[in-house]
Amino acid sequence: MPALTTARSFNASQDSSSYLPVAVFIGGTAGIGRAMAEAFVRHTNGRVRVIIVGRNATAAAEMIAALPLAARERAEFVKCDMSLMRNIDVALSELAGRGITKINYLIVSSGLLPANGRQETDEGLDRTIAVVYYGRWKFIHGLQDALSAAVAAGEPAKVMSVLAAGEGGPIDLDDLGVKKNYSLMNVTRTDATYNDLMLEKFAQLHSEVSFVHAYPGVVHTNVAVNSQSWLLTMIYYLLYPVVMLVARSPEDCAELMWYAVHHSGKGLARVNGKGDDIGMKNWYGTEESVERLWEHTLDATKSRGAA
């Protein structure tokens, strides 16, 4: 495990003076996504173009207003409720329209804890799985050309999905999208495995780009408080004293996550909450499941035929 001090000082060696890094944060208005955006601005002394994609415009405005001037002038917010795939299509065109045709770092951390049962959107997807899996997939898929453009320019191109590497479980290939056995446990583990499998396939298709699935560990964010599930909220308050003892601050977590991003090579890497590479530990995929989930997702996100 890298010491926090090592992780902090490591960023200094990341020389980006020859180009202006472009970093996109999907789900970047709160929690770890926000902390990673703020850390990146510190690391680069504000020499960065930060794009925040999220649901909460007020939070984004507050966050951008607090950035140092150099970063603030270049920072942008794109509003998107990514529980609906059509909203993501709109957001992707908006990003293209703003001239974001090259991306060096794409950090996806959008979250929504499961409700007490399946909540279907008018697109037929469960809201939680849409935000935590399908939407992440659709953004990574839709921004692939921009990542390739960074590679072509001889610059880093790295994607990190912050969710739960190593914390997944077996998935039901006859019930992709979890329409039948919906439960908090099932969905949480399935989301983690789906994220593994999607990055595996992206890494196969785009061998020039680095893909990282990270588990941030226990971090003190308000995601459970905002849960639609009374059960989760209750558990959170009951465990609060314990959580506070073991939880890392989002700021410390962000440093470890960046350390993992900068250390990732081409292909897929999986890292735990300490920033360590866990290899294929608790990997619940096969060649078949990677392919079947990919096919299912092309349909579910209405991305078939797209680039």
Ligand X SMILES: *[C@@H]1O[C@H](CO)[C@@H](O)[C@H](O)[C@H]1NC(C)=O
Binding ligand X by CB under 6 A: which of 11, 116, 121, 233? 11
Question: Can you tell me which of 86, 179, 180, 281 binds ligand X, judged by CB under 6 A?
Answer: 180
Exactly one of 172, 208, 291, 295 binds ligand X (CB under 6 A); which one? 172
Tally the residues of the chain: 307
Both tokens of 43, joined, read 């690391």
Nearer to ligand X, 117 or 304 (CB): 117
Stretch that binds ligand X, among 4-12, 85-93, 123-131, 239-247 (CB under 6 A): 4-12
Nearer to ligand X, 124 or 169 (CB): 169
Query: Minimum distance between the CB of residue 174 and ligand X, rounded to whole angstroms?
Result: 5
CB of 219 to ligand X, least distance (A): 17
What angle do helix axes 85-97 and 135-142 make, rounded to 10 degrees? Answer: 30
**Considering beta carbons, is residue 145 or 172 the nearer one to ligand X?**
172
d(CA 123, CA 42): 40
- What is the rounded distance in angstroms from the CA atom of residue 155 to the CA atom of residue 255? 21
Strand partners, 50: 23
Between residues 197 and 209, which has the closer beta carbon with respect to ligand X?
Answer: 197
Contact 292, 176 (CB under 8 A): yes
The nearer residue to ligand X, 151 or 184, going by C-beta atoms, is 184
Q: Where are the beta strands (DSSP E) in 147-289?
A: 158-162, 210-214, 267-271
Q: Report, in Å, the least distance between residue 193 CB and ligand X.
A: 8
Q: Binding marks (x or -) toward ligand X, 181..210, rule CB under 6 A?
A: x-x--x--xx--------------------
Of residues 262 and 266, the one with the C-beta less far from ligand X: 262
Instruction: Tell me how far apart the alpha carbons of residues 298 and 238 are, in angstroms, rounded to a whole number.
Output: 40
Long-range contacts of range 8-14, CB-CB < 8 Å, 24 or more positions apart?
8/255, 10/259, 10/262, 11/43, 11/255, 11/258, 11/259, 11/262, 12/43, 14/43, 14/262
Distance CA 286, CA 201 (A): 11
Report the C-alpha gap between 209 and 169 in whole angstroms.
26
Site for ligand X in 23-82 (CB under 6 A): 42-43, 45, 56, 58-59, 62
Q: For binding to ligand X (CB under 6 A), which residues are involved?
A: 8, 11-12, 42-43, 45, 56, 58-59, 62, 169-172, 174-175, 180-181, 183, 186, 189-190
